[in-house]
Amino acid sequence: MHPPLTLDQLREEVATDAIDTVVVAMPDMQGRLVGKRLDANYFLNDAIDSGVGACAYLITRDIDMQIVDGFDIAGWADGLSDFELAPDLNTLRRLPWMPGTALVIADACWIGGGVVAQSPREILRGQLARLAEHGWQALVATELEFLLFDQSYAQAHAANYHGLRLSTHHSIDYAISATAKAEPLMRQIRRQMRDAGMQVEAIKGEVHNGQFELGFKYADALSTCDNHVVYKEGAKEIAVDHDVSITFMAKYDEGAGNSCHVHLSLIDEAGNPVFPGAGGKGFSATFEHFLAGQLAAARELSLAVAPNINSYKRFQDGTFAPTVISWGRDNRTCALRVLGEGRALRLENRTPGGDVNPYLAVAAVIAAGLHGVENQLELPPAAHGNAYESDAVRMPTTLREAAQLWENSAIAAKAFGDEVVHHYANAAHQQVRAHDAAVTDWDRARGFERT
């Protein structure tokens, strides 16, 4: 893989003062980029070799960036010590929406040596290494949806996120004229993502009012996930410049939620596709086992694809979000949709929402597939028609249920190890406790006067 910006190019641009800042950032548990902005000369002269110090709680904080209990690697008990952010120069790129700025994604490493096992990039790398033992590489694309609002983030916050005006007042699925109003913003996002080293394919309106999806060409799994988090961060920053706001939350209201469908295929060491075969379905035995693994592991690994309380509100019948664990050929009512023929044959896992951490989701898809391959699981028949009406096993309906399945899962323990399983189970349990203690608008509307 060639970096969008080479180190020599960075040196040249720093020398001419075209770039004066380098952002060194890692993905946290929520898939957000966190780190520091460095003077570009300091980055070149010092940080490349020595890394950047940061508090280890970057990998334990909740979504509000608050310290919570129960983690083994950082907390009040150990004095909130540091780890290092080690720049991965393969990810170096310009940030076109941020003048004079480049970005490099970093890996979390312990001072004195060793990567942090609980960090999202390392979790994904572990599954890629398992694939490599079979002689395979994963090609992945993530389809990320968002809602666009006419208010800025500051205005949305001031309104307590109530009464916001979506950018269109009706569904815009595949609409051209209805999405023209947003085209200045969308065009800037497309062009600047391209200039940041991503291969943009297309943007389209989606089912919900004001909902859009920007698609990028598939790449190796790690590059796709890195691009995903850069795109998500960049799109929000570009929205700020336009005095509007976007949300990737899985379920904003009672309408269709924001999805993040994960497309995945495998190639061997010679670059040949692994999934096609000569059988009646056109599937190889490997693909049948890999797909069967998705079905077998879906409930136990749901925490990795639906990490928040809100994630489970997206799983509603008839909303294009899956509720039953089934597979089908080009069937959008199934959790697993199979698409393409020959080299283009791939699976689409439709369970992740827009709030997903892509590294964890892709790692879970690979782990599930390998569970099927290594245990030679048999693929059940495809679902036909409306899978919502089938009697197939259903996805978990709450984060509480998902966390219990995850921490008791032999599949998760084998794939990720006890440290990772405990870490993310604790994050889920802490989120459930916070939610259980919160008094909501729903509580007040039902109980203020009538109880």
C-alpha 334/C-alpha 348 separation (Å) is 10
Mean pLDDT of 16-27: 98
In a domain, 432, yes or no: yes
Residue-level pLDDT at 263:
98
| Domain range enclosing 187 | 126-442
164 pLDDT band (50/70/90 cuts)?
very high
* pLDDT at position 15 over 50: yes
Query: What single-letter amino acid sits at 242?
Result: H
CATH number at residue 236: 3.30.590.10
> Are 74 and 131 contained in the same domain?
no
DSSP string computed for 173-188: TT-SGGGGGGHHHHHH
> Are 196 and 283 contained in the same domain?
yes
In a domain, 451, yes or no: no
Mean pLDDT of 418-443: 95
The last residue of a domain, from among 67, 90, 116: 116
Nearest CA among 77, 78, 75 for reference residue 62 = 75
CATH number at residue 73: 3.10.20.70
Could you report the per-residue pLDDT of 348-368, keeping only the tens digit for each?
Answer: 999 999 999 999 999 999 999
Question: Which H helix or E strand runs over 109?
Answer: strand 101-109
Residue-level pLDDT at 124:
98
> Are 181 and 65 contained in the same domain?
no
Strand partners, 38: 22
Mean pLDDT of 82-111: 96
Percent with pLDDT over 70 in the chain: 99
Residue-level pLDDT at 113:
85
C-alpha 61/C-alpha 74 separation (Å) is 9
In a domain, 449, yes or no: no
DSSP string computed for 395-411: --SSHHHHHHHHHT-HH
Could you report the per-residue pLDDT of 104-114, keeping only the tens digit for each?
Answer: 999 999 998 89
> Are 108 and 253 contained in the same domain?
no
Residue-level pLDDT at 1:
43
Are 288 and 369 in contact by the 8 Å Cβ rule? The answer is: no
402 pLDDT band (50/70/90 cuts)?
very high
In a domain, 450, yes or no: no
The last residue of a domain, from among 94, 116, 138: 116
* pLDDT at position 72 over 90: no
Query: What single-letter amino acid sits at 201?
Result: E
Are 22 and 104 in contact by the 8 Å Cβ rule? The answer is: yes
Number of domains in the chain: 2
C-alpha 403/C-alpha 396 separation (Å) is 10
Question: Which H helix or E strand runs over 138?
Answer: strand 136-149
Mean pLDDT of 198-215: 94
In a domain, 19, yes or no: yes
> Are 69 and 151 contained in the same domain?
no
> Are 183 and 69 contained in the same domain?
no
> Are 100 and 133 contained in the same domain?
no
Mean pLDDT of 334-349: 95
**Residues contacting 415, CB < 8 A, separation 6+:** 126, 127, 130, 363, 367, 370, 371
What is the gyration radius of the CA atoms in the chain, in angstroms? 22
> Are 86 and 214 contained in the same domain?
no
DSSP string computed for 305-371: H--SGGGGGS--TTTTS--B--EEET-TTSSEEEE-SGGG-EEEE---BTT--HHHHHHHHHHHHHH
176 pLDDT band (50/70/90 cuts)?
confident
Residue-level pLDDT at 69:
86
Mean pLDDT of 108-136: 96
C-alpha 160/C-alpha 149 separation (Å) is 14
* pLDDT at position 2 over 70: no
The last residue of a domain, from among 62, 90, 116: 116
Could you report the per-residue pLDDT of 181-202, keeping only the tens digit for each?
Answer: 899 999 999 999 999 999 999 9
C-alpha 135/C-alpha 413 separation (Å) is 23
C-alpha 265/C-alpha 407 separation (Å) is 28
Residue-level pLDDT at 76:
78
> Are 187 and 103 contained in the same domain?
no
In a domain, 121, yes or no: no
Question: Which H helix or E strand runs over 11?
Answer: helix 7-15
3 pLDDT band (50/70/90 cuts)?
low
In a domain, 386, yes or no: yes
Nearest CA among 417, 339, 392, 352 for reference residue 117 = 417
> Are 348 and 418 contained in the same domain?
yes
Percent with pLDDT over 90 in the chain: 86
Q: What is the mean pLDDT of the chain?
A: 94
* pTM to 2 decimal places: 0.96
Residue-level pLDDT at 73:
84
Residue-level pLDDT at 68:
87
* pLDDT at position 380 over 90: yes
